[in-house]
Amino acid sequence: MGVQRTLSIVKPDAVSKNVIGEIYSRFEKAGLRIVAAKMLRLSREQAEGFYAEHKGRPFFPALVDFMTSGPVTVQVLEGEGAVLQNRELMGATNPKEAAAGTIRADFAESIDANAVHGSDSEESAAREIAFFFSTSELCERV
Ligand code: RTP
Ligand code: MG
């Protein structure tokens, strides 16, 4: 699989709960390195563009409302098989179905307010990283 990069978001519910550091710690303990990071409040246009694949789905308006409800942190994680590894750390979309010890099991309240986003493939990761970061903002880590 090799070293990959993936896009992660700490969503507004988790920022509001003040658990950014605890979530970053999960990434670091799993051997993923943060190679870019920033905090911002998404505009509706940004949230709609980021989740464009879900446009037209019944949950789309609620998803955009939620993602614009407060600040988020966006970060690029790097490591061996980072895309799948991050998805495993996150747990299932619905926290009620998320395995014990995953980020969503421990920090998420509902399928809407589910604490984190992670790219679901290498192709999505490339698109999502470019959505938030320029090449010069991605740092080399040794
Ligand atoms: P994410 O993109 O945020 O990492 O979440 P995911 O891959 O686990 O789930 P995805 O299918 O991409 O859905 C994006 C977000 O939309 C909300 N959702 N609600 N009510 C529903 O059936 C439903 N399905 C999806 C969730 O908040 C999910 O994180
Ligand atoms: Mg997704």
| pLDDT at residue 142 tops 80 | no
Amino acid letter, residue 97: E
Written as one letter, the residue type at 63 is: L
Residue-level pLDDT at 1: 74
Q: What is the ipTM of this complex?
A: 0.96
Q: Where are the domains of the chain?
A: 3-137
Please give the pLDDT value at position 2.
93
Going from the Cα of 34 to the center of ligand 1, the distance in angstroms, rounded, reads: 23
pLDDT, tens only, 64-95: 999 999 999 999 999 999 999 999 999 999 99
- Would you say the pTM of this structure is higher than 0.95? yes
Q: Is 54 a catalytic residue?
A: no
Residue among 112, 103, 7 at smallest CA distance from 58: 112
**CB-based contacts of 137: which residues, under 8 Å, 6+ apart?**
36
Residue nearest to atom 9 of ligand 1 (CA): 93
Fill in the DSSP letter of residue 41. Answer: -
Distance between CA 59 and CA 46 in Å, rounded? 17
CATH hierarchy code of domain 3-137: 3.30.70.141
